Amino acid sequence: MKSKLLVAAPLALLLAACGSISNAPTPSPLPVVENKAGLSQVWHASVGGDTSFRFQPAQAGDRLIVAGAPDRLTALSLANGASQWQVKLDKPLAGGVGAGEGLIAVGTLKGEVVTYSYDGKAMWHAQLSSEIVSPPAITDGIVLVRTVDGKISGLSAVDGALKWQFQRQMPALILRNYAPMTLRGGIALAGLAGGRMVALGAQDGRVLWDSPVAMPKGATELERIADVVSAPEVNGNMVCAAAYQGRVSCFNVLNGSPVWSREVSSYAGVAGNGRVLAVTDSDGNVLGYDRNSGRSLWKQDKLVARSVGSPEMLGDYVAVADYEGYVHLLKSDDGSLVGQLATDGSRIAAEPVVFDNKLIVQSQSGDVFALTVK
């Protein structure tokens, strides 16, 4: 049976488009926040083009590689945002950009993987079965690529030759999965449709373990959606992930044995450090859990219905961004709001990333911002 795709967005907003009366909740007003953390902008650059994709920049040495709609790939200086080079592809980009081991890889809507050196020189390209939906991941001479049909493919980083392929049968109804894979040594961790997380050997695609983050439940296909649609988060020997209409669960990264889980629905994701795991739930609450035990520590509810995305850790702070392009900082120990900064007014849908102690966010208007705390 062919799976039906739903876009991974606030489901209330998605369903509202099907009828004449919107049941989407009214966004919370922008909270007034004293900038106690000293959140400030280091630089700002534009890579062009409005996009609905959740493009996320990648680090390539001292450069930031950014996918811009519809077909541009730009290298920026990580230090000051200055443009280093730009290439134009002959097909629209999809999935975002990955970088590692001297290679940059991007995907297209037509399922092509295109690669470049760190200085922008074209390398090789490979054709896969369908649209690339998340950033390629590169490790140990293998480029790992995820396609919309549920496959994960391992390609040779030398010439793009297919080395292995992984696929699981998908549920009848799934959310569109933009989730990046997470690398930990020679292990690739991926959240799947149906609420599972799998650990694959990057070299050969061998399944090391396959564990349930959440179990689908409900009478209808819609109620049974329990997909993991964000990147697994690794800290030490623990990996955590969250599922829509499901749970947040943590496992031993080496063998997949469960450590703890809590009931929470998330289409955004998780981030953490050695003490705290932060989760953005489906309503826009940001929740803090004790990393080791799963005990609830705090709940920040002032961002409800603001389409808050996945959290990221910036030092001792939790950073999240919303549909109006505001970046918010929370104290990781109590969840209080201690910083806020406006960007360009458009939604920041992709998970923020931290490189060189800078928080990097890319808006859907094609602007990139590097932020820091004093």
Q: Are strands 83-88 and 72-77 parallel, antiparallel or unpaired?
A: antiparallel
Confidence band for 349, pLDDT divided at 50, 70 and 90: confident
pLDDT band at 49 (very low <50, low <70, confident <90, very high): confident
Structure tokens at 184: 């930990």
pLDDT single digits (tens) 227-273: 998 899 999 999 999 999 999 999 999 999 999 999 999 999 999 99
Ordered structural domains, the chain, with CATH? 55-166 (2.40.128.630)
Mean pLDDT of 333-354: 95
Question: Which residues, other chains included, contact 141 with Cβ-Cβ below 8 Å and sequence gap of 6+?
Answer: 101, 156, 157, 158
Q: Is pLDDT of 14 > 90? A: no
Q: How many angstroms separate the CA atoms of 192 and 177, rounded? A: 8
Given a cut of 70, whether residue 9 has pLDDT beyond it is no
Mean pLDDT score of the chain = 92
Helices and strands: H and E segment counts in the chain = 1, 34
What tens digit of pLDDT does each residue of 274-323 get?
A: 999 999 999 999 999 999 999 999 999 999 999 999 999 999 999 999 99
pLDDT in tens, 56-92: 999 999 999 999 878 999 999 999 999 999 999 999 9
Mean pLDDT confidence for 218-235: 92
How many Cα atoms sit within 13 Å of 304 on the Cβ side? Answer: 9
Confidence check: pLDDT of 22 > 60: no
Comparing C-alpha atoms, which of 308, 301, 313, 350 is closest to residue 326? 308
- Enclosing H/E stretch for 16: helix 11-16
Name the residue among 150, 120, 121, 110 with its Cα closest to residue 2: 150
Residue 17 contacts by C-beta under 8 Å, 6 or more apart in sequence?
none
Mean pLDDT calculated for residue range 137-162: 97
d(CA 365, CA 51) in angstroms, rounded, equals: 6
Place 187 in a pLDDT band, splitting at 50, 70 and 90.
very high
The one-letter code for the residue type at 162 is L
* Cα dihedral value 134, 253, 268, 72, nearest 10: -20
